[in-house]
Amino acid sequence: MDGHATHWAIFDFSSLSDEALKHAYLKTTEDTALPQPQRIRSAARSHWAGRIVLKHLLESQKIKDSIQVNAEFGYPFTHQCHVSIAHTEKVAVAAISNAPVGIDLEKKTRPVRAVLEKLVTTEELDRFHSGRWVDTHGIVEPELYLWVGKEAVMKASGLGLSGGLKRVHIQWNQGAPFPIVQDLSGPLPLKNPQLHFFSVGDCVIAICYQTTELNAQPIRVAIED
């Protein structure tokens, strides 16, 4: 793997059948597919797609290490690099790096204003809305940037949402990539993390990375039905 870059990939699995997804997933793991009664159909499809896109991304960098899950905090990892996965019911994304990395995505139409008090302070929200950088094209509620950005940072720290989103502050006035101020004490220490946002189709994607360059173009994963 190129140690000077953070790589990411995207996988639109919306048109694939359940069997095609399951078959591709079983090629990525030694485990058997989860029985249908244990997962609702949409959750099973998203789980399979997440592992598929991550496996393809690892193989693109000639990494054949198995994907494991941290027992205490639940984040995925390999022994050769840091990894992160996210998905909606139709699209899955993954990122890998030689330093802690986090990726998150949401549909542009997802409503977030009703839960903003859990995400940000009034001062932070004011700073966000004063940033003219924000490209809200196709995004119903621009505050969605706050949601996906903070989730990406929390995932990079290894804490996930349990760490508290208000402990992450995005420096909107600095320009992209956006510096992060945080006081997280997670299992994966972050040093000078930064955020970059992408608009892909009907989704907004946030990637938190550090110490490396970020490949602007994702690998696009495709499998046959």
Report, as an integer, the average pLDDT of 2-10: 86
pLDDT digits (tens, 9 = 90+) for 90-128: 999 999 999 999 999 999 999 999 988 888 888 888 888
Residue that is written with structure tokens 């972050």 in the block: 190
Task: Report residue 207's pLDDT band, with 50, 70 and 90 as the boundaries.
Answer: very high
Report how far residue 205's alpha carbon sits from residue 184's, in angstroms, rounded to the nearest whole number. Answer: 22
Residue 90 in contact with residue 13, Cβ under 8 Å?
yes
**Domains in the chain and their CATH numbers?**
5-220 (3.90.470.20)
Report pLDDT for 2. 65
Query: What backbone phi and psi angles, to 5 degrees, belong to 218?
Result: -80, 160
Q: What percent of the chain has pLDDT over 70?
A: 91
Task: State CA 46 to chain mean position distance.
Answer: 13
Report, as an integer, the average pLDDT of 81-97: 96
Task: Report residue 1's pLDDT band, with 50, 70 and 90 as the boundaries.
Answer: low
Q: What percent of the chain has pLDDT over 90?
A: 59
Does 64 score more than 90 pLDDT?
Answer: no
In angstroms and rounded to an integer, the radius of gyration of the C-alpha atoms of the chain is 17
- Judged by DSSP in three states, 65 sits in coil
Helices and strands in the chain: count of H runs, count of E runs: 5, 12
Does 136 score more than 70 pLDDT?
Answer: no
Report, as an integer, the average pLDDT of 171-194: 88
Report, as an integer, the average pLDDT of 10-39: 80
**Per-residue b/e over 194-212, b at no fewer than 16 CB within 10 Å?**
bbbbbeeeebbbbbbbbeb
Q: Where are the alpha helices (DSSP H) in the chain?
A: 18-26, 41-60, 116-119, 122-129, 144-157
